[in-house]
């Protein structure tokens, strides 16, 4: 099911949902780091996790400037993102990375939709552009190591 994050009708809801999505992503990254056997893969995933932490800081700054309450954790989607990784663990590192790639597909779509959304303002736009570039890089790496 494609994500609807990025299609919100207010910038406040958009920022809140992007924050929640980023917390879901971090939970999936934590789950992945725990399960990967390959230390090089684990190190790269840890680097990507730091990108998500950076996204949370930037989005949090925007939430503060808008005076909105920031989420501090993921939502029910977290069960899906981490559950895929847990199930994939039964089949090894390649399957774990395939599961993570599907999570990245959703995050890429969310940032693309954010950039196409008319409510995305001048403060959010550069954060979304960086987020999209990071997510595309994460996904490309996952595709490369699965080849």
- List the CATH number of the domain containing 46: 1.20.1260.10
What does the pLDDT look like over 66-115, one tens digit per residue?
999 988 755 455 445 554 555 544 446 777 788 788 889 999 999 999 99
DSSP 8-class letter at 118: T
User: Hey, what's the torsion of the CAs at 70, 9, 78, 71, to 10 degrees?
Assistant: 10
Residue 118: inside a domain, yes or no?
yes
Strands (E), the chain: none
Look at the alpha carbons of 136, 138, 142, 147 in this order and tell me if their dihedral is positive or negative.
positive
Which tens digit of pLDDT belongs to each residue from 32-58?
898 888 999 999 999 999 999 999 999
Whether 2 is in a domain gets the answer no
Cβ contacts of 73 within 8 Å, gap of 6 or more: 20, 23
- Asked if residue 1 is part of any domain, the answer here is no
And the tokens for 98?
Answer: 């395939």
74 in a domain, yes or no? yes
Residue 3 domain-assigned (yes or no): no
4: in domain:
no
Give the domain extent around 120.
11-145
Residues in the chain, total:
147
For residue 17 the two structure tokens come to 């949902």
Q: Which pTM value belongs to this model?
A: 0.87
Let me know if residue 49 belongs to a domain.
Answer: yes
| Domain count along the chain | 1
Which phi-psi region, left, alpha or beta, contains residue 67 (left: φ > 0; alpha: ψ -120 to 50)? Answer: left
User: DSSP class of residue 1?
Assistant: -
Residue 62 lies in a domain: yes
């Amino acid at each position: 099911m494609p994500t609807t994050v990025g299609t919100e009708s207010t910038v406040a809801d958009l920022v809140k949902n992007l924050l929640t999505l980023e917390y879901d992503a971090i939970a999936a990254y934590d789950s992945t780091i725990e399960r990967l056997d390959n230390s090089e893969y684990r190190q790269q995933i840890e680097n990507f996790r730091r990108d998500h932490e950076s996204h949370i800081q930037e989005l949090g700054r925007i939430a503060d400037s808008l005076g909105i309450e920031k989420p501090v954790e993921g939502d029910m989607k977290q069960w899906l993102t981490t559950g895929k990784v847990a199930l994939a663990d039964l089949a090894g590192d390649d399957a774990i990375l395939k599961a993570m790639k599907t999570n990245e597909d959703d995050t890429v779509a969310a940032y693309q939709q954010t950039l196409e959304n008319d409510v995305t303002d001048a403060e959010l736009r550069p954060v979304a552009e960086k987020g999209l570039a990071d997510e595309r890089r994460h996904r490309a790496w996952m595709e490369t190591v699965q080849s």
